Amino acid sequence: MIQIDYKQTEKNAKYFLECLTKNFIETGCCSVKKVELYDIHDDTDIKSLVKLNVDSKYSDLLLNALNCISKMSLENKKMLYCAHLLEIKRKSLRSDYEPFEYSFGNPFYTYEKALREFGLLNSTLVELYESKN
């Protein structure tokens, strides 16, 4: 029986998002509009918060990733917005951490859930294995 390897799917999603962050945001190819978390709703299109400054052959990958994030559940969408688009470290997203107005109860657990959902939405990141039943 073929099953989904959720841990590997999360790793694939994390690597993919980190590469996009490094290649687009850190190099200045796109800029991200900073908004309060309460301004992000279920129907918020994350693409509207990102402006492409330079068009490249990988722009479609970024737009596809933003579409996937836009389709995610609200908490996971907010988490990936903070962690990858605003590049706030996960330890800084704890509810007891003062400098940021963005907080999640347990950011590490929420981040894992968000990566899993993103990986499952983006079929190229899903890792399968055959179980021996």
Would you write out the chain's pLDDT as a tens digit for each of its 133 residues? Answer: 889 999 999 999 999 999 988 888 888 899 999 998 889 999 999 999 999 998 888 889 899 999 999 999 999 999 999 899 988 887 777 766 555 566 677 888 889 999 999 999 998 899 988 887 6
Residue 61 belongs to some domain of the structure: yes
Q: In this structure, are residues 95 and 104 in contact, taking their beta carbons and an 8 Å threshold?
A: yes
This prediction's pTM: 0.88
Q: Which of 64, 48, 67, 56 is nearest to 24 (CA)?
A: 56
Q: Which of 52, 32, 127, 111 is nearest to 77 (CA)?
A: 111
Residue 131 belongs to some domain of the structure: no
SS3 content of the chain, % helix, strand, coil (to 5): 55, 10, 35
Buried residues in 74-108 as b, exposed as e (16+ CB within 10 A): eebbbbbbbbbbbebebeebeeeeeeeebebeebe
Residues spanned by the domain of 75: 2-123
Q: Enumerate residues 6+ apart whose C-beta is below 8 A from 116.
A: 6, 9, 10, 13
Residue 48: what pLDDT?
Answer: 95
Residue 60 belongs to some domain of the structure: yes
Residue 38 belongs to some domain of the structure: yes
Residue 91: what pLDDT?
Answer: 75
Residue 128 belongs to some domain of the structure: no
Residue 133: what pLDDT?
Answer: 65
Q: How many domains does the chain have?
A: 1
Residue with tokens 């596809």: 64
Q: Enumerate residues 6+ apart whose C-beta is below 8 A from 15.
A: none
Residue 7: what pLDDT?
Answer: 94
Residue 51: what pLDDT?
Answer: 93
